[in-house]
Structure 1
Amino acid sequence: MGQRSGRQERSKKPEVALSETMEAEIEVQNNKEEIEEVKAKNQKLASVFGVADLKNEAVGLYNLGQTCCLNSLLQVFFMNIRFTRILRRITVPSPARRRSSVPYQMLLLLEKMQCGKCKAVCPTDLAYCLAEHRVKLFVQYDAAQLFLTLWNLLKKQMKNPELVEELSDLYTIRIQEHLACQKCSFEIKSNSTMLTLPLPVLDANSHRLKTLEHCLQYFFLPEKLTGQNMCFCQQCGRKTPFLQSMELVHLPQTLTLHLKRFCFERSSRTHKLSHSLPFPQELDFREVLTENQCQADDREKATWQYELFAVVAHSGYSSCGHYCAYIRSLTECKWYCFNDSQVCQVSWDDVKCTYGRSNLNWRETAYLLFYMKKHPQQPSPGVSECL
């Protein structure tokens, strides 16, 4: 059977070879067309510099149904020149995958905002793309959680490892956690990364923290784990009181601070903490944290000087509300308010209105703060910044 089968294959070899040749030619032609299409698309997208260049009028985003949170975060991403430079270098996915590619749809939306002449555009395609990844319309989102969701989708779908690493370097915070038994010398150390620093606005006794610097200092204070929070000590062989502490190892170019203004009550309901909490335009971590709260060399610490870049503010209550973004243009050094389709220039006094007031729950209060390094270790060439 094997020999007979072999003779039959040899007798059909010229016909098979001709078929394979034709298929190969067709495949080469299709590949050429796809390559040309990708090149044309890349050339077109290469001209996109990002909405951060506000020499032209800023562009808003229409609200498609409770998408104010998404719109605010997108504007913060797009106004960050270093982010748009990473986004513009992504690999264009195959036609079958473009509809569900978050980085690609964000890039198309950026192009639409940059090249269009409208005062606002509809992020419809991106919204449908996100819906395929369980980010639905007509749902009220928490800005900190949605920021993490978008970040994870971007990292997961970027195929170039170098771009993924650049994106991580741009936003990721590195810390070292310590757990020390209070009965013996047993200690556990672990390194971890964070996208945001979740800062409490109340201390353990429910007293209001007065400034952003106080929130940062409180976040890095050692915490005693006693009672029900005790940990098992391998050396003692039982649960013992532990001391939990964190040390800052590395801060990224773009630092995100999450003000935890939504407080969970024992009744499982939440309420918003709207008391005044000032935050500075300039922030130097060397002046905020102690030596025991930092694990970095002098070169690293020298870069821990920041200037405020953007504020995502929330107005309303925990159950319903609205988001908008105040963003400082890195090219014009001016503040803008992005409120869905409405964009206007504002002053620093307008931004300070997001500090909050206890007697005005509906008033805008800062929820996410984005700080940009004043003196990055490796500044991007040709980027004009007012830092």
Structure 2
Amino acid sequence: MSSHRKRSHEGKAPAESKKPKGKEHAVSYYGLYNQGATCYLNSVLHVLFMTPELHKRLHSQSSIMDQELGKVFKKMKVGKCGTENITESLGIKIVHQQRDAAECLELILQKVSPNASEVFKGELTYTTECSEEHHIINEETNPFWTLPLSLKNTHDATYNVERGFERTFQTKSYSGDSMVYCKECEKKTEATSGCDMDTFPQILVLLLKRFEFDFNTMSYFKSGCSVDVPYTLQKKDKKYSLYGMVNHYGSLRGGHYTATLLSNEDKTWYEFNDDTVNKVEEQPSAQTTRSSSAYLLVYREQRGRTHDVKKRQNKEGYGNNGKKQEGYEEHEEVSTFHEDIVKEEVLQHQKPCRSIVEIEKDENPPKHRKLPEWVPFLGGVSLVLAIGCLVIKNVRKR
């Protein structure tokens, strides 16, 4: 997915319109210069630039990344600019090497202050329960910044994002040879397991897993299947609206990232292609859009009128009964967004992906892993697991 020459792929707008052509940039927005093959970084920065919820939480004294993001966002309001200081802060030394946009987003969220990354943070609770006495066999809560959705084994020509999102929270059953040991029952029992979202992020990012590892061929591949992307998603009483997509065009051997984003100012969709920004020619009118290039889907939590009224009453010193609280003193508003404190927990159910810095240090990779440097890093762990599965399989046969 590397490209030393600049590519001119124009992103598809939600509603699968024609690729925009025309003026170099829109009136209100400016792009970022490509250092060589840093379109993956530019697309992520464009998303963050169009996320004002993050801007309010950036503090120059908290971290270097907060400071650098603030500088870039300020420059983007008046003209095109470079990203050299951002790549330096991320430890990216080879700018002509393409990387994965999802990995880049998570690396940035690791570098910014906790208060800033909290905008994207949610928590999932995984629970396994025995079916006989309903004992809790296992329960763990894990934080997340991006929610991955697998495009495999859907049995549909077109992947439906809304159904895939719902499948994440479906209950699974274990019986027969798959029964689970229950300590309370002191035996193996039938059981069910499920996942629930305990903490809802203000900005929900869905990762469409287009880059997968094939255990049969022992190699990576990219899924080019079409996906139906809904403009709204709902989980319990939380409703989210789509405002951004990071697109990937091309294959594993060569590709290009762009970002399609909805402006808060004029409610118009724009296509961000490195230093070129165009208004999307055909603005969406349907409830869903179909795309074969969408990779990251970015949703914003909708806040209804009831929530806004309560928030304003609390801010002005009114109680739930609508009456002014005694002893209330007005203070200067610091932030208009809630700051729920999320408990930091180490992911226990999966190994972390290798960071960009770690991969750069791997100058002599194993000979059996003949993979180009530009292969997305999300599959790094899959390769190790695949080799382990084959070894265990051979041992069992003996």
Settle same-fold status: TM greater than 0.5: yes
Corresponding residue for residue 332 of structure 1: 266
Q: TM-score, normalised by structure 2?
A: 0.62
Q: After superposition, what is the alpha-carbon deviation per residue over 1:218-249, rounded to whole angstroms, capped at 9, x for unaligned?
A: 22112345799765543466776643211222
8 Å CA contact 2:229–2:291 kept in 1: the answer is no
Alignment partner of 1:248 is 2:182? no
Identity score, percent? 25
Structure having the higher Rg:
1
Q: Any unmatched runs of 5+ in structure 1? A: 1-53, 94-100, 159-163, 287-300, 358-364
Greater relative contact order (CA < 8 Å, ≥ 6 in sequence) = 2
Alignment partner of 1:105 is 2:64? no
Cα separation, partners in 2 of 1:207 and 1:354, compared to 1, 3 Å: closer
Please report the RMSD computed on the Cα atoms of aligned residues, expressed in angstroms.
Answer: 3.3
Match of 2:214 among 245, 258, 265: 265
Corresponding residue for residue 361 of structure 2: none
Alignment partner of 1:125 is 2:85? yes
1:351 shift after superposition: 11
Cα separation, partners in 2 of 1:179 and 1:374, compared to 1, 3 Å: same
Corresponding residue for residue 356 of structure 1: 291
Q: Distance in 1 between matches of 2:283 and 2:211?
A: 25
Secondary structure in structure 2 of the residue aligned to 1:348 = coil
1:55 shift after superposition: 9.9
Cα separation, partners in 2 of 1:231 and 1:264, compared to 1, 3 Å: farther
8 Å CA contact 2:148–2:209 kept in 1: the answer is yes
Q: Distance in 2 between matches of 1:323 and 1:112?
A: 22
Q: After superposition, what is the alpha-carbon deviation per residue over 1:264-317, rounded to whole angstroms, capped at 9, x for unaligned?
A: 21123122222221112223334xxxxxxxxxxxxxx2xx12221100011111
Secondary structure in structure 2 of the residue aligned to 1:258 = strand
Q: After superposition, what is the alpha-carbon deviation per residue over 1:348-386, rounded to whole angstroms, capped at 9, x for unaligned?
A: 3599997335xxxxxxx1111111122164679999xxx
Q: Distance in 1 between matches of 2:55 and 2:141?
A: 29
Corresponding residue for residue 145 of structure 2: 195
Secondary structure in structure 1 of the residue aligned to 2:163 = helix
1:145 shift after superposition: 1.8
Q: Distance in 2 between matches of 1:64 and 1:353?
A: 34
8 Å CA contact 1:61–1:340 kept in 2: the answer is yes
8 Å CA contact 2:135–2:184 kept in 1: the answer is yes
1:318 shift after superposition: 3.1
8 Å CA contact 2:248–2:255 kept in 1: the answer is yes
Q: Any unmatched runs of 5+ in structure 2? A: 1-24, 313-332, 337-398
Cα separation, partners in 2 of 1:208 and 1:192, compared to 1, 3 Å: farther
Cα separation, partners in 2 of 1:55 and 1:217, compared to 1, 3 Å: same
Q: TM-score, normalised by structure 1?
A: 0.64
Q: Distance in 2 between matches of 1:150 and 1:186?
A: 40
Cα separation, partners in 2 of 1:228 and 1:191, compared to 1, 3 Å: same
- Corresponding pairs, count: 284
Secondary structure in structure 1 of the residue aligned to 2:126 = strand
Q: Distance in 1 between matches of 2:98 and 2:188?
A: 41
Secondary structure in structure 1 of the residue aligned to 2:165 = helix
8 Å CA contact 1:69–1:143 kept in 2: the answer is yes
Match of 1:281 among 222, 231, 237: 231
Q: Distance in 1 between matches of 2:84 and 2:250?
A: 26
Match of 1:370 among 298, 311, 326: 298
Give the number of the structure whose residues are more often helix, by fraction: 1
Cα separation, partners in 2 of 1:248 and 1:352, compared to 1, 3 Å: closer
1:135 shift after superposition: 6.9
Cα separation, partners in 2 of 1:121 and 1:200, compared to 1, 3 Å: same
